[in-house]
Amino acid sequence: MKILVPIKRVIDYRSPIRIKADKTGIDDSNVKMSMNPFDEIALEEAIRIKEKGLAQEIIATSIGQETCQETLRSALAMGADRAILIKTTENIQPLAAALVLKHLVQRENPQLVILGKQAIDSDNNQVGQMLAGLLQWPQATFASSIIFHDDKVSVTREIDGGLETLLLTLPCVITTDLRLNEPRYISLPNIVKAKTKSLLVEDIDGLGVDYKPRLKVINMTVPEKKRANIRVENVSELVNRLKNESRVLS
């Protein structure tokens, strides 16, 4: 079995977020970047599947600028066998990402595509579902457990109020949730070894995929800071404060 693991390079969750001066997006200059945490979980699960002898090859792929090579090298150090960077400077939205991944799936012929349920920068939670729809493959989202049975895989997923277990026929698409596993630390020998692994860089224009943005960000603002709680002694004081504050706000 061959496994494809899409990975997104995002602003590290510990880094402070700044809005661009024109308020059209996030300013990612001079901030720490890292692998999307949900994709890291997906990669860890793919490695564990291979360690059980159920897969022969893991391909990590990313869509973005040249700097995404750093993230893919981290994926190779974790345990991916090779990597593919689809290079572009454009803002790639979910449908465009799904179309690019569909192209790679048809070319590489993996039996499993496993990726994070969402990216922490956009929180769209759409690429996995769109990819499964484009490929007409079965899918399971928010996976917290994955068990293989010959040409089938059972996926336990988290839903409102409990758990649901689906039995999928390979090939399929799975998106991962936080409780699936704990990603491993990357050792220094594996970092050195990753430098010898294959990392193919391709220009997105060569794929023949329509990646033009379909949505435009008009305005982005930082959320207002929450006001401190105020303790009142009685109902009369509460009513008085509400009346006065409502006049100020209006």
Please report whether residue 236 resides in a domain.
no
**Can you list the positions of beta strands (E) in 22-150?**
33-35, 57-64, 82-87, 112-116, 139-149
Q: The pTM is what?
A: 0.84
Domains identified in the chain, total number: 1
Asked if the structure places residue 241 within a domain, the reply is: no
Q: Is residue 96 very low, low, confident or very high in pLDDT (cuts 50, 70, 90)?
A: very high
Residue 158 placed within a domain: yes
CA distances from 203 to 63, 64, 113, 165 (A): 10, 10, 22, 39
d(CA 173, CA 171): 7
CATH number at residue 68: 3.40.50.620
Q: Please report the pLDDT score of residue 230 as a whole number.
A: 81
- Is 240 part of any domain? no
Whether 248 maps to a domain, the answer reads no
* Domain assignment present for 133: yes
Structural domain including 144 reads: 2-223
pLDDT of residue 246: 61
Banded model confidence at residue 158, pLDDT cuts 50, 70, 90: confident
Q: In whole numbers, what is the pLDDT of the chain averaged over residues?
A: 91
Residue 249 lies in a domain: no
| Structural tokens at position 163 | 């758990």
pLDDT value at position 250?
47
